[in-house]
A = this chain, B = another copy of it.
């Protein structure tokens, strides 16, 4: 039986939530879009495999990935049996510059609401990973918040609200969102304010790991 990993890399940006896809450059699937994914070597752990495969195909390095779900229907790949472990992560699009290599002809961001028809069950893998990402954001009080490595170190509450709105694909009323913040004692207000704006500068906030560990673990 073959075992592979497929990586769902979500990219957060001011223009919405994207996912990284590659264009297959070889085989009878040439020209099709797919998730970055490939076989696991016999001597590497699954986590290592996911990180390696992502780097080989897209150039993205040092991206922590988490398991979403394992897909193993008998007929998911025509003609052979491949069980694939779907991994996912979210990064700030600005932090990376994808560079396709190996058998990838292109590596590009696609809007999560506008994904083309992909190879095999890759659309279903994205759907599952997106659900997982959203649940993670909704129920994250015991873990490092999803936005910790995506937003800058200091950010406004409007920027945080935008992140929630983009990932959860809904709008929050400003007042209701501020109430949500009470659930996050690890969100700390600083004495720093925006400087490069024409309107009244907003206060900047930051994530405080120590407070989080104290309250949530």
Contacts and interface: CB of A to CB of B under 8 A. Distances in A.
Interface in A123-173: 135, 138-139
A42 interface: yes
19 contacts: A1-B1, A1-B42, A3-B72, A3-B83, A42-B74, A43-B74, A43-B81, A45-B72, A45-B73, A46-B70, A46-B71, A46-B72, A46-B73, A46-B83, A70-B85, A72-B85, A83-B83, A135-B139, A139-B139
Interface residues of A, number: 22
Contacts of A81: 42-43
A67 interface: yes
Interface in A20-63: 40, 42-46
Max count, chain B CB within 10 A of own CB: residue among A43, A45, A139: A45
A45 B74 contact: yes
A69 interface: yes
A2 interface: yes
Nearest to A142: B135
B1 A72 contact: no
Contacts of A138: 139
B40 A1 contact: yes
A72 B40 contact: yes
A3 B71 CA distance: 12
Contact of A69 (B44, B67, B74): B67
B44 A74 contact: yes
A44 B1 CA distance: 12
Q: Which 8 A-B pairs have the closest CB atoms?
A: A46-B72, A70-B70, A139-B139, A45-B73, A1-B3, A42-B81, A70-B85, A3-B83
A52 to B, nearest CB: 13
Nearest to A138: B139
